[in-house]
A and B are shown apart, each in its own frame.
Chain A
Amino acid sequence: MGALGKPIILMVAMYVFLKFVLPYIPGSAPLPSSLIFLYLILTASGIVIYETLSGESKDAFWGPIQRFLTGENIGGLQALRYGVLILFPLLVGWQTYGSTATSDLPPTESRTIHPAPPGEYTGLVNPVPKTPENIMQGKGFYAAFCSPCHGGNFDGKGPAARGFIPAPANFADPTTIAMLQESYLFWRIKKGGVGLPIEGAPWKSAMPRWELELPDEWIWKIIMGEYDGAHQSPRTWE
């Protein structure tokens, strides 16, 4: 193996790992391409630093690159060399065009789906006893006030949901109420969309501010009915 073999294998392996292996590790997620690019740059920088530590390794590393660029004694690779020399300026031009051309896409808006609640809403305990009667009553309130958007099946697909962006939360999805505590739901139901902090994009949310219309006790019962109906349990720290 020449001085260039290992670095190339390392770069390719790194890319394959970041793009195709990492997302499948439990608890992980696909990396954004900008992050993959950053990691590859870091890997490449590390390789260059490592390879240029000593005089010999430096020559072994840069030598073949220099020979390819100058085109001396590279035989059949001459055509490839011309290809690279033509392709490089074109790529630079293409990148420049991409970064200066006006985009026809509207601005992207990142929205935090579960932003942090105000301090006074963390750690509240549901004061309503978890009895079958209370759960049933909560489901009745849910049907009356929540189901038009969040759906009779707790799936966020109520008849009024279609025009709303962000879409009403799907409580059957394990990434919504199953990840949250009852106190969080209490805050979200009480204050509604307008109560969200700026990272939650409150100007887009259709969630009503129910504290103006429903007593706290009803809200706690709705929370119990929601968890029971969606077959989820509140998150606990035990």
Chain B
Amino acid sequence: MGRINPHGRGSSGHCRQGVRVKLHTENEDSMKPANHAVKRVLWAGLATIAALVMGGGSLSFAQESVSVRAAIVTGGLPVDDPNAAVWTSAIPATFPMSPQVHWPDRIQEVTVKDVIVRALHDDQQVAFLLEYSDPTQDPDDGAALEFMVGDKKAHFAHGQPMLQVEGGPVNIWFWKHKDDKAVDMSAKGFGTLKPQAHQDVKAKAAYANGTWKIVFSRPLSTDHPDEDVQITPGEFISIAFAVWDGRKDGAGELVEKGSQKAVSSWWYFRADAPPDYSSYMYAAIAAALALGFQFVLIRKLKKGQ
């Protein structure tokens, strides 16, 4: 493979020289002229394969992104226990948070800088574990998950209207410490946030060592697809996060409240589908077909001569 020069140090002239040198040694070996050509074909084939591999490699790096995925569990979903041992089997994803500056009332600084998110599902229900550091436990501590609902894109700020794109609604799962329950909410634009008539979400939180752990859970699908996010295993959907630190300032006023909160951008969430081995079968069929094609081709060539 040396002559392909994958590091690109040589120009094309350099390559040509390399081939000449090689040809010279072949002549000294007094091989048949046909073999030179055959060797060259071989090198070309290798060069093409190398090109595919190298090109394919860079392509997959460009796709790297962050998402949270829910693996399937069979032994019961830990919907009531933020500290359940099974959570350690879920892969954590960390998402950065910003103060909400998109619309008034804004806030310039927030307590929570990152949230760590895990998820699991059992093909009936999904459970999210939201975890973040908060030095104090306050009655007004709160957190929320946000999802796009339906096929239309929704702006991450409560699905507020976009000027050139028709947006969809968002579904918000909201938890507040002093109530210690979830509120299933809908919004499509500022000032439209309201609890739904059908409450499908549960939440359970635990605070220890300066860290909040909150479990949100809900059936994967509900009877209200216009209001609730519907989770289909195997499909990526958009998810965003918000956190309120319920601390108070010197005057006894809440610092983070309403739109003054920590927010994230949209990220992706997927509930994993059951394992699917069909692509191994397709690969085996394709390889067998290629082998058969080779066999027929060579037979035909041999007969032709």
Interface residues of A (CB under 8 A from B): 2-5, 7-9, 11-13, 15-17, 19-21, 32-34, 36-37, 40, 63-75, 77, 80, 84-85, 88-97, 100-102, 104-108, 148-149, 159-165, 191, 193-198, 201-204, 206-209, 213
Contact = CB atoms under 8 A, between A and B. Distances in A.
B85 interface: no
B55 A36 contact: yes
A40 B52 CA distance: 10
Nearest to A88: B290
Nearest to B303: A70
B297 interface: yes
A13 B12 contact: yes
Nearest to B281: A100
A100 B283 contact: yes
Chain B, interface residues (CB within 8 Å), range: 35 or more
A11 B49 contact: no
A9 B15 contact: yes
12 contacts: A5-B36, A9-B12, A19-B8, A33-B56, A75-B35, A84-B42, A89-B290, A93-B287, A100-B283, A160-B101, A198-B165, A202-B155
B40 interface: yes
Contacts of B23: 5
Contact of A213 (B12, B43, B104, B279): B104
A16 B16 contact: no
Nearest to B278: A100
Contact of A89 (B102, B103, B113, B294): B294
B99 interface: yes
Contact of B265 (A67, A68, A206): A206
B279 A106 contact: no
A193 B154 CA distance: 12
Contacts of A73: 32, 34
B212 interface: no
Contacts of B16: 9, 13
Interface string B24-51: 0000000111111111111111011101
Nearest to A118: B164
Contacts of A32: 59
Given A93-B286, A163-B264, A194-B162, A105 B101 contact: no
B35 to A, nearest CB: 6
Contacts of A66: 301, 305
A2 B276 contact: no
Contacts of B98: 160-164, 206
Given A11-B47, A12-B47, A162-B96, A194 B282 contact: no
B73 interface: no
B136 interface: no
B300 to A, nearest CB: 10
B208 interface: no
A33 B59 contact: yes
Contact of B96 (A2, A5, A163, A209): A163
A89 B288 contact: yes
- Return the 5 tightest CB-CB contacts between A and B, nearest first: A33-B55, A20-B8, A163-B98, A93-B287, A64-B37
A164 B34 contact: no
Contacts of A106: 65, 67, 236, 268, 270
A92 B56 CA distance: 15
Nearest to B168: A203
A64 B38 contact: yes
A208 B59 contact: no
A66 B300 CA distance: 10
A203 B165 contact: yes
B298 A33 contact: no
Contact of A33 (B58, B64, B294, B302): B58
Contact of A204 (B52, B65, B103, B156): B156
Contact of B31 (A8, A70, A75, A104): A75
Contact of B38 (A74, A90, A208): A74
B12 A93 contact: no
